[in-house]
């Protein structure tokens, strides 16, 4: 392979990565709480080359943290964050997951959980539990305080600020986990919890579809260039064989 093929191959690999990520975003355009993912690439200059050859290398991904639109549901246990911040949930492995919204249910023990069984955590990191006779007849204030209809405090929704939110890893269903060595989340000073709402995905489907078409065209051009370079190499070998 010549340098042309190596450069085209690195570009094609990067484009394939972008294509897969864009397709994943499109597949989650209707997933509540989902944050669009984007790839990060970097130019790498070959120090051994004398003609300034650069390749494309994959440096990871980041989340688009722009807010999705709020959709009213009328369910008192559907909650979303209108401002900055994340709610926390206990994962199956004992770790902590974070989300911008949740469709909650109350189990037989009064523990407030996601439909997938992950307990909602309060500001102190403990599971939120309600009296068994309360059910869904609760009020959740903008500050995250949970009360009954008479105003008696029953608990609170923990809302946290995360410094490295864009580096979080997706767990599915609009749930995310902190990256390794991330700073500990801090309680939000001005939480804005909205009861009876969920946050829609922030994926812009039309934009992602346009991007996918552009990526596919660029990928095809890279493959075409590699094929043309390979044909030229084979032709040169054949001609040298006749000398």
Q: Are residues 147 and 164 in the same domain?
A: yes
- Dump pLDDT digits (tens) for 99-140: 998 899 999 889 999 988 999 999 999 999 998 888 788 999
Query: Which structural domain range is residue 31 located in?
Result: 3-64+203-242
Q: Are residues 195 and 100 in the same domain?
A: yes
Please state the domain count of the chain: 2
Q: Are residues 194 and 74 in the same domain?
A: yes
Q: Are residues 90 and 185 in the same domain?
A: yes
pTM: 0.81
- Dump pLDDT digits (tens) for 14-42: 888 889 999 999 999 999 999 999 988 88
- Dump pLDDT digits (tens) for 180-231: 888 999 999 899 999 999 999 999 999 999 999 998 898 888 778 777 766 6
Q: Give yes or no for residue 49 having a pLDDT over 70.
A: no
Q: Give yes or no for residue 236 having a pLDDT over 90.
A: no
Q: Are residues 151 and 219 in the same domain?
A: no
Q: Are residues 78 and 37 in the same domain?
A: no
Q: Are residues 220 and 233 in the same domain?
A: yes
Q: Are residues 121 and 195 in the same domain?
A: yes
Q: Are residues 129 and 168 in the same domain?
A: yes
Using a CB cutoff of 8 Å and minimum separation of 24, what contacts does 4-9 make? 4/225, 4/226, 4/229, 5/225, 5/226, 5/229, 5/230, 6/53, 6/55, 7/53, 7/54, 7/55, 8/222, 8/223, 8/225, 8/226, 8/229, 9/222, 9/226
Q: Are residues 102 and 172 in the same domain?
A: yes
Q: Are residues 187 and 85 in the same domain?
A: yes
Q: Are residues 104 and 40 in the same domain?
A: no
Q: Give yes or no for residue 243 having a pLDDT over 60.
A: no
């Amino acid at each position: 392979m010549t340098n042309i093929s190596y450069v085209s191959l690195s570009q094609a690999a990067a484009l394939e990565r972008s294509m897969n990520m864009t397709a994943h975003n499109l597949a989650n355009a209707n997933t509540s709480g989902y944050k669009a993912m984007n790839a990060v690439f970097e130019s790498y200059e070959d120090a051994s080359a004398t003609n300034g050859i650069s390749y494309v290398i994959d440096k990871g991904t980041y989340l688009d943290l722009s807010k999705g639109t709020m959709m009213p549901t009328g369910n008192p246990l559907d909650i979303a964050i209108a401002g900055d911040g994340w709610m926390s949930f206990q994962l199956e492995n004992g770790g902590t997951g974070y989300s911008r919204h949740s469709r909650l249910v109350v189990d037989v023990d009064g523990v407030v959980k996601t439909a997938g069984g992950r307990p909602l955590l309060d500001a102190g990191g403990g599971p939120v539990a309600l009296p068994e006779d309360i059910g869904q007849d609760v009020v959740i204030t903008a500050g995250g305080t949970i009360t009954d209809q008479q105003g008696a405090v029953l608990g609170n929704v923990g809302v946290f600020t995360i410094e490295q939110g864009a580096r979080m890893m997706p767990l599915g269903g609009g749930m995310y986990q902190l990256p390794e060595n991330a700073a500990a989340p801090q309680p939000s000073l001005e939480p804005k919890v909205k009861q009876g709402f969920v946050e829609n995905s922030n994926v812009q489907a039309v934009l992602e579809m346009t991007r996918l078409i552009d990526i596919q065209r660029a990928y095809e051009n890279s493959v075409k260039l590699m094929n043309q370079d390979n044909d030229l190499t084979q032709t040169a070998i054949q001609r040298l064989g006749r000398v």
